[in-house]
A and B are shown apart, each in its own frame.
Chain A
Amino acid sequence: MRRSLFVWIGVMAAVVAAAGLGAVVLSRWLASGVEEPAAESGPAPVDETRKIKARLFYVADDGVHLVPVEREVPLGATTADQARRIVEALLEPPPSPLLSAIPAGTRLRALHLTEAGQAFVDLSAEVRSAHPGGLTNEILTVYSIVDSLTVNLPGLTGVQILVDGHEADTLAGHVDLRRPLARSTFWIDEDTPR
């Protein structure tokens, strides 16, 4: 089943790349997904002072892993709103000695959720233009975002990073961003949490 899934993903990617229709497809995805799934319209207005404890991911001492750090994040009214707040917290310069894997100055432009539980995270151009380059840096940038969202919001099935409102191939020439990425514990060092 998984195999066939990849086939269809692959088919899709082929169509997108071959026809250069990325933007069209993207807009269709966003249109087909409800920004706020019906299940999220529920509970009451949010008290701005409320916080959740979220595990955000930063660069480990060994430079090749992410470490989870429990930090307080404002409560969001909906899953999409919570996802936004998690990304915004992740984009804030962290206190020393934490090291963010995301280029300084990167802002969250928008975040959309589809009904299938995919998050589209639209970041400002700095995430690419100010990226220091290198595969490991790029992997950690991508998965600090993917894992910070999917670990704290387990209902999310995948995260796709957009740059400046558009689908992106890669941030720095390595990691394939053309489709949503699933949570990966492969990059997380659980042994040395702070």
Chain B
Amino acid sequence: MFLPRFRLLIAVLATSLAGLSLHPHPALARQAAGARPAQALTVILPQARTPLPVSQSGDQLMVALDDLAPLFGLTLREDGIGGGLVVTAANGKRVLLTPGQPLASADGRLVSLPAAPARDGGRWLVPIDFLPMAIAPVTGTRVEVRRASRLVLVGDVRVPRVEIRQQEAGGVIRLTLTVAPRAGHQVTHEGNRLLLRFDATALDPVLPAVTPGPLLQGIRLGEGPATIAVDLGPRFGSYRASAATHDANSEVVVELVPAFTDQALPVPPPSAPAAEPLLNLAPPRPSVRTVVIDAGHGGDEPGASGPSGALEKEITLAIARRLRAVLEGRLGLRVLMTRDGDKTVSLDERAALANTNKADLFISLHANASLRPATRGAQVYFLSAAGAGTEASRVSLASGALPTLGGGSRDVELILWDLAQLRHVDESAAFAAILEEELRGRIAMNVRPVLQAPFRVLAAANMPAVLVETGYLTNAEDERLLKTAGHQDLIVQALLHSVIRFREARERGITAAPASSPAPNPSNPPAPSPSRPTP
């Protein structure tokens, strides 16, 4: 609290005082007696703040020199002969005061005070302006008195005045903060309040009276030296903060926007998906008999491409053909290909082929691309339903139908086609986890090996389904490997062993039962199996 560079000095009587009248004026006692205590000022120093008691005398705020002495490192000495007072700063410079005279000699310069110093019992009172007029020049310290806000700023402190106005229009509350002089700021949303932290020692705020409402509950000084807290109401939805500077001032506008009204969700009909699914009436123990292999892209849609010219559609078809041969030859499975040539096939047709043929597993093969050439490694994806709810999209439908080849549709167990995959997400996740393990032992995996995303081609598949990104064509090494038969065979081996393991698990009934799976969290998909890494 003490300004450290000051030290105590014993003043010597200034000879210049000799010429001044040093006899206390009889009126002084009355004047001092007329001073009544007033609300203390707050002195703000660079590292501290402290109250400064003051009294009101007429229109003047008076402060005791005894209270100023420790703040400014002043030494006081009465001139026993003349009744005057010598105020000595740590640097040896002096201020001379004469009772009854509204004058002071500050380091040899005469300054006119708005009121004369007064004696109050054993203390000397001086008008508050004594600080900027006499103390500041003598001590070399900046002193600013802000009467209205009852602040005394001492030294290198930044205490911007922050005046807040509140307007409301169209349900939005706009708070305009005029900051003078300008100061940097940050707005953060913490719990049920907004905090505006200013780059300042303290604030000199003018806060509006706030009637607590659904959007705004109050505005007050927050914890911390230069923080304003805006207490938010239950209707608060979001905020926008903007700033502009005008000359020496800045203006911060914070808009409080109410939450969009919650429209009640319609009550689903009892026979809708919450009901026990008809899938449980399906064949007793699911196995894996029919597999659909989907070679990604094709025809007009080449997909990703590599620096040496490899095309995703060619890589995926090559792997698909090898996989078909292995699944048919080694496992005796019925295998269908969504394309077996360089053809353009729509995403709907691909899922429809699998649905029409009641496939037990849908494997979509792809090769990836990144804007970062170093990105490489295989990844396994399954569906997340990341859609946002929409009132407009909630419509009723008389019957559930899946598109089938030939353009017709058939009712399928009331499972709606675009929702079909959601029933199988747990099994899809289980297969993805197995496949990730099998791939990991054979080829390089990406840092994010198993992921969920809203895939167009998987959404409609009414069976466990995964999408395999076999590597990054934009990575030179991955591209080189993906073109080789040996590397393609490693991927096929991983898929083969995954299908075997998945089939065994299904036959033993240890994969997740379909239909009871909750919809995955669109923002943060849950981990479907222990082997799936935390996203």
A181 within 8 A of B: yes
Residue pair B523, A42 in contact (C-beta under 8 Å): no
Residue pair B519, A10 in contact (C-beta under 8 Å): no
Give the contact stretch, choosing among B192-200, B226-234, B452-460.
Answer: B452-460
| Contact pattern, A 5-17, Cβ under 8 Å of B = 1, otherwise 0 | 1111111111101
Residue pair A180, B387 in contact (C-beta under 8 Å): yes
Residue pair B395, A155 in contact (C-beta under 8 Å): no
Residue pair A169, B456 in contact (C-beta under 8 Å): yes
B242 within 8 A of A: yes
Partner of A176, one of B272, B372, B454: B454
Which A residues between 138 and 180 are near B, CB-CB below 8 angstroms?
Answer: 139-140, 153-155, 157-159, 169-170, 172-180
B161 within 8 A of A: no
Which A residues between 36 and 69 are near B, CB-CB below 8 angstroms?
Answer: 37-44, 47, 49-53, 59, 61-65
Which B residues between 41 and 84 are near A, CB-CB below 8 angstroms?
Answer: none
A124 within 8 A of B: no
Of B243, B459, B525, chain A has the most CB atoms within 10 Å of the CB of B243
Q: How far is the CA of A39 from the CA of B371 in the complex (A)?
A: 40
A110 within 8 A of B: no
Which B residues between 509 and 530 are near A, CB-CB below 8 angstroms?
Answer: 518-519, 522-525
Residue pair A158, B387 in contact (C-beta under 8 Å): yes
Classify chain B's interface size.
Answer: 35 or more
Residue pair A52, B240 in contact (C-beta under 8 Å): yes
Residue pair B372, A63 in contact (C-beta under 8 Å): yes
Residue pair B272, A7 in contact (C-beta under 8 Å): yes
Which B residues between 429 and 452 are near A, CB-CB below 8 angstroms?
Answer: 446-448, 451-452
| Contact pattern, B 459-478, Cβ under 8 Å of A = 1, otherwise 0 | 10000000101001110000
B301 within 8 A of A: yes
Nearest CB of chain A from residue B14's CB, rounded to whole Å:
57
Which A residues between 77 and 111 are near B, CB-CB below 8 angstroms?
Answer: 79, 82, 99, 101
* Given A15-B395, A132-B369: A153 in contact with B416 (beta carbons within 8 A): no
Nearest CB of chain A from residue B445's CB, rounded to whole Å:
12
Contacts of A158 in B (CB 8 A): 387-390
Q: Which residue of A lies closest to B381 (CB)?
A: A135
Residue pair A14, B417 in contact (C-beta under 8 Å): yes
Partner of B273, one of A7, A14, A137, A186: A7
Nearest CB of chain B from residue A4's CB, rounded to whole Å:
4
Contacts of A121 in B (CB 8 A): none
Q: How far is the CA of A39 from the CA of B91 in the complex (A)?
A: 63
B224 within 8 A of A: no
Nearest CB of chain B from residue A29's CB, rounded to whole Å:
5
Nearest CB of chain A from residue B367's CB, rounded to whole Å:
8
Residue pair A133, B241 in contact (C-beta under 8 Å): no
Residue pair A174, B456 in contact (C-beta under 8 Å): yes
Q: How far is the CA of A159 from the CA of B256 in the complex (A)?
A: 22
* Given A42-B171, A117-B260, A186-B535: A8 in contact with B393 (beta carbons within 8 A): yes
Residue pair A176, B375 in contact (C-beta under 8 Å): no
Q: How far is the CA of A15 from the CA of B400 in the complex (A)?
A: 10
Q: How far is the CA of A3 from the CA of B258 in the complex (A)?
A: 27
Partner of B297, one of A52, A173, A182, A184: A173
Partner of B456, one of A38, A139, A176: A176
Contacts of B386 in A (CB 8 A): 181-182, 184
Residue pair B170, A157 in contact (C-beta under 8 Å): no
Residue pair A75, B242 in contact (C-beta under 8 Å): yes
A126 within 8 A of B: no
Contacts of A118 in B (CB 8 A): 388, 390
Contacts of A170 in B (CB 8 A): 347, 456
Contacts of A44 in B (CB 8 A): 167, 169, 174
Q: How far is the CA of A182 from the CA of B454 in the complex (A)?
A: 11
B136 within 8 A of A: no
Nearest CB of chain A from residue B10's CB, rounded to whole Å:
56
Partner of B371, one of A18, A63, A117, A169: A63
Nearest CB of chain B from residue A153's CB, rounded to whole Å:
6
B424 within 8 A of A: no
Contacts of A47 in B (CB 8 A): 244
**Interface pairs (21), CB distance under 8 Å:** A7-B419, A9-B394, A12-B390, A17-B417, A17-B418, A40-B172, A42-B168, A43-B255, A50-B244, A51-B244, A59-B370, A59-B371, A75-B242, A101-B371, A132-B474, A134-B367, A136-B368, A136-B370, A155-B237, A180-B388, A186-B525
Given contacts A11-B397, A64-B447, 11 further A-B contacts (CB under 8 A): A7-B272, A9-B385, A17-B348, A17-B418, A18-B401, A28-B392, A115-B260, A116-B390, A134-B369, A134-B474, A137-B371
Question: What residues make up the interface of B, taking CB atoms closer than 8 Å to A?
Answer: 167-172, 174, 237-238, 240-244, 253, 255, 257-261, 263, 265-266, 268, 272-274, 296-297, 301-305, 312, 347-348, 366-372, 374-375, 379, 381, 385-397, 400-401, 403, 409, 416-419, 422, 446-448, 451-457, 459, 467, 469, 472-474, 518-519, 522-525, 535
The 6 closest A-B pairs by CB, nearest first: A134-B369, A158-B388, A63-B375, A63-B372, A42-B170, A10-B419
